[in-house]
Amino acid sequence: MAKTTKAKKASPSPKVLILMGSDSDLPIMEEVSKVFDGFGIPYEMTVSSAHRTPERTLKIAGGAAERGIKIIIAGAGAAAHLAGFIASQTTLPVIGIPIDATPMRGLDALLATVQMPGGVPVATMAIGKAGAKNAGLFASEILALSDKRLANKLVLDRQAQAAKVEEKAKKLDDARQ
């Protein structure tokens, strides 16, 4: 089994594995864990690099299904091969988050993550924080297919978002009267 002793564990039976290429990715990847904390979804989170620690990444990704992980989320910047490399080691759904870490402002990571060859999919989100948040929500939607309570929480979250927009529209209307 992969050595993930430093992984942040929110529960003894994590459903999602969150990986990032470097600790410099953490401020972005915390947007993923915030979503899971909010919905009460257990996860584990650690650093592993496709380029700097390929064997560690291989062990963690290859052993994920055996540990009961249902979905893997991978965020990386630069020539971001992390999500694709993980996808090559497992048939679990892999969600990729391109991170802005170079003068190319994440476009490099976006293309490296999204342009997978046919046969080995990576569900690629937007660059940066929005992508990380959506990765958390997308993973939650997958888990909600077999979890009615979680499905209800997702509906409530959408309703709360709509209520916020109504509130903002009202504020603007009031200010302009």
Q: How far is the CB of 10 from ligand RP5 (least distance, A)?
A: 22
Q: How many CA atoms lie within 13 A of 106 on its CB side?
A: 16
Q: Is 101 in the site for ligand RP5 (CB under 6 A)?
A: yes
Please report, for the chain, how many H helices and E strands are present, in that order: 6, 6
Q: Is 105 in the site for ligand RP5 (CB under 6 A)?
A: no
Q: Is 27 in the site for ligand RP5 (CB under 6 A)?
A: no
Other CB atoms within a 10 A radius of the CB of residue 116 amount to: 18
Q: Is 83 in the site for ligand RP5 (CB under 6 A)?
A: no
Q: Where does this chain touch ligand RP5 (CB under 6 A) — which range of 72-80, 86-94, 157-165, 168-176?
A: 72-80
Closer residue to ligand RP5 in complex, CB, 49/90: 49
Query: Which residues in 117-176 contact ligand RP5 (CB under 6 A)?
Result: none
Closer residue to ligand RP5 in complex, CB, 29/69: 29
Q: Is 22 in the site for ligand RP5 (CB under 6 A)?
A: yes
- Angle among Cα 112, 45, 116 to the nearest 5 degrees reads 20
96 phi/psi in degrees, rounded to 5: -105, 140
Cβ atoms 81, 110 nearer than 8 A: no
The H or E element that residue 132 is part of is: helix 129-144
Q: Is 96 in the site for ligand RP5 (CB under 6 A)?
A: no
Q: How far is the CB of 117 from ligand RP5 (least distance, A)?
A: 21
Q: Is 77 in the site for ligand RP5 (CB under 6 A)?
A: yes
As a whole number of angstroms, the distance between CA 57 and CA 163 comes to 41
